[in-house]
DNA sequence: GTCTATAATTCGATAGAC
DNA sequence: GTCTATCGAATTATAGAC
């Protein structure tokens, strides 16, 4: 054997804490998504993760640090330049819906951003670094005009998510996915290339 | 004088509590708008109103009752049927912006609705009783289709308010009012009468 | 009608045993 | 690395004096 004292070699010591950390972040996303920043408590998160509340503090320092870790987020926008120009709007909406329904990250971010300043800034930076540039590249417009259009697109897409997933307005819930992609996609398309 | 025992006649006894109640509700709207349902506390509301926290409880029973009173809201939609059809979308957006900037009621409602179930239901009922019917009348479409369009319009307008007044996304803040009315108005117009 | 005092919880955070 | 025990602060809500 490598060593009579046994145990893993020097590289990558398998600490159980890694699994614990992952469980905490997953539970945090869940709770922040369901109850917002203030509604989710260290205790409720620890309970959902099946561990002790003190561990959350040990690993993430405080509630702010935990949220910062839980709100790590990548929109994973696909390369829309490869698509036929006429399909870009619908593709964008479709991707956003996937991203909303895929996990709790965006829901957690939005629910928290409405009352928590740090979450709001995170939201601002996400749309500044991930949405804005992509719109600029796609539309080929000057920076200021592209930013304005990215803002309009964000307002439509975030509003759709707000009404559908957060406020759950019945008429918005009744829309089929295909219908949503088509109709909201047309709006995004217009913001991208027309008016 | 009318009576030797003095005091107002039977009708409309001028209780000072009326002014107090009004001050409480106004302060409550302010606080709910600024901090959401959980962030606004009975204490902070009482402090903003310049009265004792116990009075809030006396007049409104509990926090829920106070919010119900503070979230009383009328969109005050004007008669859009009198306008040239081509201007309806822009007029709707313009009216919403006025309503958002006029007082704290809508801000309080939205900030609270994201985490509080009662506020969310209030939001649902407002759009069911005030937005939906108006869209039905304007578009002249069957009920189901009109409801779908009202939902789409709500998603765009609430999304605009979310990005502008709550999340404060810089590109959305940079839009002038005229520009916002024109561009978002065109979207609302399309949801109303086209696709 | 208004306010003082306080009960009963609940939260974030810390100290320290194992 | 994990958990027990607990502190100090803040919250809603109540009881009752004035």
What CATH number did the domain enclosing A178 receive? 1.10.357
Q: Is residue B11 part of a domain?
A: no
B38 strand C contact, CB < 7 Å:
no
- Structural domain including B57 reads 17-70
Does one domain contain both B89 and B178? yes
Q: How far apart are CA A66 and CA A191, in angstroms?
A: 36
B57 strand D contact, CB < 7 Å:
yes
Q: Is residue B7 part of a domain?
A: no
Chain B residues closer than 8 Å to A107 by CB? none
Domain count within chain A: 2
DSSP code at position B131: I
Q: Which of residues 59-78 of B touch strand D (CB under 7 A)?
A: 61-64
Does one domain contain both A184 and A88? yes
The overall average pLDDT reported for chain A is 93
Q: What pLDDT does A15 receive?
A: 58
Residues B71-109 have pLDDT tens digits of: 999 999 999 999 999 999 999 999 999 999 999 999 999
DSSP code at position B163: I
Does one domain contain both B46 and B99? no
Chain B residues closer than 8 Å to A111 by CB? 114-115
Does one domain contain both A57 and A89? no
pLDDT at residue B5 above 80?
Answer: no
Cβ distance B71 to B109 under 8 Å?
Answer: yes
Residue B22 touches chain A, beta carbons under 8 Å: no
Touching A: B residues 80-99, CB under 8 Å: none
Nearest CA in chain B to A167: B120
Does one domain contain both B161 and B113? yes
Lowest mean pLDDT among A3-12, A184-193, B43-52: A3-12
Does one domain contain both A92 and A174? yes
CB pairs under 8 A between A and B: 161
Write out the two tokens for B130.
């005030």
B23 strand C contact, CB < 7 Å:
no
pLDDT at residue A1 above 90?
Answer: no
Does one domain contain both B85 and B149? yes
Interface test with A, best of B114, B131, B161, B171 (most A CBs within 10 A): B171
Does one domain contain both B93 and B179? yes
Residues B54-73 have pLDDT tens digits of: 999 999 999 999 999 999 99
Segments in chain A forming alpha helices (H): 17-39, 42-49, 53-60, 63-70, 88-102, 105-113, 117-126, 132-139, 143-161, 170-174, 177-193
Does one domain contain both B124 and B181? yes
| CATH at B64 | 1.10.10.60
Does one domain contain both A90 and A34? no
Look at A174 and B132 and tell me if their CB atoms are within 8 Å.
no
Residue B15 — very low, low, confident or very high, per pLDDT cuts 50/70/90?
low
User: Pick from B98, B112, B113, B145: which is nearest to B45 by CA?
Assistant: B112
Cβ distance B172 to A155 under 8 Å?
Answer: yes
Look at A115 and B187 and tell me if their CB atoms are within 8 Å.
no
Q: How far apart are CA A153 and CA B181, in angstroms?
A: 15
- CA atom of A26 to C1′ atom of D4, Å: 25
User: Pick from A105, A96, A98, A133: which is nearest to A28 by CA?
Assistant: A105
Q: Is A50 exposed, middle or buried (0-12, 13-18, 19+ CB in 10 A)?
A: exposed
B41 strand D contact, CB < 7 Å:
yes
Does one domain contain both B60 and B87? no
Residues A52-64 have pLDDT tens digits of: 999 999 999 999 9
Residue B17 — very low, low, confident or very high, per pLDDT cuts 50/70/90?
confident
Residue A85 — very low, low, confident or very high, per pLDDT cuts 50/70/90?
very high
User: Pick from B155, B160, B154: which is nearest to B184 by CA?
Assistant: B160
Q: Is residue B5 part of a domain?
A: no
Q: How far apart are CA A176 and CA A172, in angstroms?
A: 9
User: Pick from B93, B98, B110, B90: which is nearest to B157 by CA?
Assistant: B93
Q: How far apart are CA A86 and CA A83, in angstroms?
A: 8
Residue A3 — very low, low, confident or very high, per pLDDT cuts 50/70/90?
very low
Q: What pLDDT does A17 receive?
A: 80
Chain A residues closer than 8 Å to B131 by CB? none
User: Pick from A36, A63, A42: which is nearest to B116 by CA?
Assistant: A36
Crossing angle of the two packed helices B63-70 and B42-49, in degrees rounded to 10: 50
Residue B177 — very low, low, confident or very high, per pLDDT cuts 50/70/90?
very high
Cβ distance B137 to B58 under 8 Å?
Answer: no
pLDDT at residue B118 above 80?
Answer: yes
In the block, residue with structure tokens 């409550």:
B28
Q: What pLDDT does B169 receive?
A: 98
Does one domain contain both B59 and B84? no
DSSP notation for A123-172: HHHHIIIIIHHHHHHHH---HHHHHHHHHHHHHHHHHHHIIIIIS--HHH
pLDDT at residue B4 above 50?
Answer: no
The overall average pLDDT reported for chain B is 93
């Amino acid at each position: 054997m490598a060593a009579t004292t046994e145990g893993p070699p020097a590289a990558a010591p398998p600490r159980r804490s890694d699994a614990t950390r992952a469980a905490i972040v997953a539970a945090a996303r869940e709770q922040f998504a369901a109850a917002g920043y203030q509604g989710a408590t260290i205790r409720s998160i620890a309970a959902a993760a099946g561990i002790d509340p003190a561990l959350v503090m040990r690993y993430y320092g405080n509630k702010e640090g935990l949220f910062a870790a839980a709100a790590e987020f990548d929109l994973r926008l696909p390369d829309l330049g490869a698509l036929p120009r006429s399909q870009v709007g619908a593709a964008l909406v479709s991707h956003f819906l996937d991203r909303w329904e895929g996990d709790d990250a965006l829901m957690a971010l939005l629910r928290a951003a409405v009352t928590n300043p740090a979450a709001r800034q995170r939201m601002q930076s996400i749309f500044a670094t991930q949405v804005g540039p992509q719109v600029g590249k796609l539309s080929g417009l000057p920076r200021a005009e592209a930013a304005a259009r990215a803002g309009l697109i964000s307002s439509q897409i975030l509003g759709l998510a707000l009404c559908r997933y957060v406020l759950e307005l019945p008429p918005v819930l009744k829309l089929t996915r295909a219908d949503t992609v088509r109709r909201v996609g047309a709006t995004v398309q217009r913001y991208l290339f027309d008016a």
